[in-house]
Amino acid sequence: MSVMTPEKSILAYFNHFIVSNFSYLLDEIDGYLYYFGGTAGVITITGIAAAATYYLKSRPIPEKPLVPLDNQAPILEGPDHIHVSKFYKEAKNGKFISYITENVRTLYQTFREGAYSSNNGPCLGWRETLTSPYQWINYDEALLRAKNFGAGMIALGARPKQLIGIYSQNRPEWILYEQGCYSFSLVVVPLYDTLGPEACAFIMRQTEMSLVVVEDDAKALMLLDKAPPTLKIIVSIKPIRQHTLERARSRGIQIFSFIDVEKLGAKGNHPEVPPVSEDLCTVCYTSGTTGNPKGVMLTHGNVVAGVCAVILQMGEHRIRAGDVMISFLPLAHMFERCCENGIYYVGGCVGFYSGDIKELTNDLKMLKPTVMPAVPRLLNRVYDKIQNEIASSAIKRTLFNMALKAKEKELSRGIMRRNGCWDKLVFKKVHQAFGGNLRLMVVGSAPLAGNVLTFMRCALGCLVLEGYGQTECTGAISLTVQGDYVPNHVGPPVSCNAVKLVDVPEMEYFASQNTGEVCVRGSNVFHGYYKDPEKTAEAVDSEGWH
């Protein structure tokens, strides 16, 4: 039962009294109309009173920060000035969060937790053409297909702990493959275009890859050109040309369709082999500036820790069942992998973009996501496009700047909303360009200019968080928090790790001056580089600092 405050009760009574007794009031004060400026004056005063009542009822309320903004990251005692999270009470004792729920400690378990939380709600969405609506499969169907695909890989000779490759754009089959791997303790190894053919060949050789899933004929051909002797099976999501089949056959490589592998698994009797948190989840190769890429080994425990820590740091805006996320950033990178696995954990759903980044706005308008991971390059384009549009009109530019200043003033007071007059008059097109339902955006992968970040917060009227992370730390290392709308920083550490600065004298960086090399230790830190103990020793010290 809601309790009406004295302020609200007075306003409600006053508003009701004015509306229900307006004609009576006019009769009663007829003799005094002269002093009020006549009937028009009374109407004006009444209108002002009504407007004041409406404002007091609908005025925006500042959002309470999750932590004191002038003390977001406690510093542990000692000479190293180690910064920890305020979102985990044991952080002050040098401990890190590893999971939220005791029985949910692997990505096999998080997906099933999402199926339960959503009551078997929609899970994976896609559309066949740019004019067609999104179609969905629910959690139970996704789990069944993933299990069948995993069982099909086992029927083709794969064994638990084996490294299985995937070379594909984001699409539902990527997730079916991923969860199929987890159902039988197989290890996910993504390949992607920007690595280049030689790097892909190196990865296949180093991992002794015998089975890889590809999206289409072109990717199958590229791998065939560089295939090591270990490669025996290619599974293609899309149809393969006869020429490619013959070329594969000449090299002793079999090609199966994704659907056929699912059917093969459905026919057999292969009990699942779920992983434990210490088991390897993925080997994610980073494209170094020189030399061969390095395979970052991450366990299920690493990824679950990273996902849980970010969910906690989102506070009241955390992801939840019913959320809809757009998937367009590469699943080959841990930023997107963590975002999607977080959504599946809470029972949300993911809609995949059409595959053409130029049509992303079309996808957003059709999907209407509530959650969106983003990168600076995309947001810079949005900002530049709007600046170009208003540059040609002094009126547009003046109105835009007035709106932006008004919204910036609200942000400085801790007010975040999208229902004000400026939102409706000026920023409505920006809302609609992102689908109209966006409530949370997480920005990563590179620094975002402060003016662009502030603009996005003002224009979208939703929580826009910026984080800093590394593949070696699963994803996020730090993340901004609700109520902090000052740009040009990446927030306090997340609760799965601690952060410290280390002197780099040759570059004149000194921790005492709050500069230095960023070092991280925690439950999200990787277990080394695949088959590369020397580089692992260089990257992680004896105390576990990376």
Give pLDDT tens digits for 323-335. 999 999 999 999 9
Degrees, nearest 5: CA angle 353-129-378? 30
Query: Does residue 88 register a pLDDT over 90?
Result: no
Query: Does residue 109 register a pLDDT over 80?
Result: yes
Give pLDDT tens digits for 473-491. 998 999 999 999 999 999 9
Count up the domains in the chain and report the number: 2
Same-domain status, 186 and 289: yes
Dihedral-angle region of residue 185 (phi above 0 means left; psi in -120 to 50 means alpha; beta otherwise): left
Query: Does residue 427 register a pLDDT over 50?
Result: yes
Main-chain dihedrals φ then ψ at residue 189, nearest 5 degrees: -130, 100
Q: What percent of the chain has pLDDT over 90?
A: 76
What's the chain's average pLDDT?
90
Q: Per the domain annotation, does 484 fall within a domain?
A: no
CATH code, domain with 299: 3.40.50.12780
Give pLDDT tens digits for 232-253. 999 999 999 999 999 999 999 9
pTM: 0.88
The average pLDDT across 187-216 equals 95
Please answer whether residues 275 and 158 qualify as being in contact, where contact means their C-beta atoms are separated by less than 8 angstroms.
no
Same-domain status, 116 and 185: yes
User: Can you give the residue range of the structural domain that contains 38?
Assistant: 6-58
Last residue of a domain, one of 306, 327, 344: 306
Q: Per the domain annotation, does 414 fall within a domain?
A: no
Last residue of a domain, one of 306, 338, 365: 306
Compute the distance between CA of residue 186 and CA of residue 204 in angstroms, rounded to an integer. 16
The average pLDDT across 395-424 equals 91
Q: Give the residue with greater pLDDT, 23 vs 161.
A: 161
Same-domain status, 46 and 145: no
Sheet containing strand 440-443, strands side by side: 135-138, 122-126, 349-352, 324-327, 371-374, 440-443, 463-469, 476-479
Main-chain dihedrals φ then ψ at residue 272, nearest 5 degrees: -65, 155
Q: Per the domain annotation, does 114 fall within a domain?
A: yes
Q: Per the domain annotation, does 283 fall within a domain?
A: yes
Same-domain status, 146 and 281: yes
Give pLDDT tens digits for 28-48. 445 544 544 555 554 565 666
Paired residues of 497 in beta bridges: 522
Q: Per the domain annotation, does 294 fall within a domain?
A: yes
Compute the distance between CA of residue 309 and CA of residue 523 in angstroms, rounded to an integer. 10
Q: Which stretch of DSSP H or E encloses residue 462?
A: none
Q: Per the domain annotation, does 54 fall within a domain?
A: yes
Please answer whether residues 500 and 478 qualify as being in contact, where contact means their C-beta atoms are separated by less than 8 angstroms.
no
The average pLDDT across 128-155 equals 97
Burial of 271 (0-12, 13-18, 19+ CB in 10 A): exposed
Alpha helices in 314-426 (DSSP H): 334-346, 360-367, 376-391, 394-412, 421-425
Give just the sign of the alpha carbon dihedral 245, 247, 249, 255: negative
Same-domain status, 280 and 185: yes
Please answer whether residues 42 and 36 qualify as being in contact, where contact means their C-beta atoms are separated by less than 8 angstroms.
yes
Q: How far is the CA of 104 from the CAs of 38, 95, 300, in angstroms?
A: 72, 19, 10
Q: Please report the pLDDT score of residue 156 as a whole number.
A: 98
Same-domain status, 29 and 136: no
Last residue of a domain, one of 254, 281, 306: 306
All residues at 6 or more sequence positions from 175 whose CB lies less than 8 Å from its CB, including other chains: 124, 142, 146, 340, 344, 350
Give pLDDT tens digits for 487-543. 999 999 999 999 999 999 999 998 888 899 999 999 999 999 999 999 999 999 999
Same-domain status, 132 and 26: no
Same-domain status, 189 and 266: yes
Q: What percent of the chain has pLDDT over 70?
A: 89
Q: Please report the pLDDT score of residue 39 as a whole number.
A: 56
Query: Does residue 52 register a pLDDT over 60?
Result: no
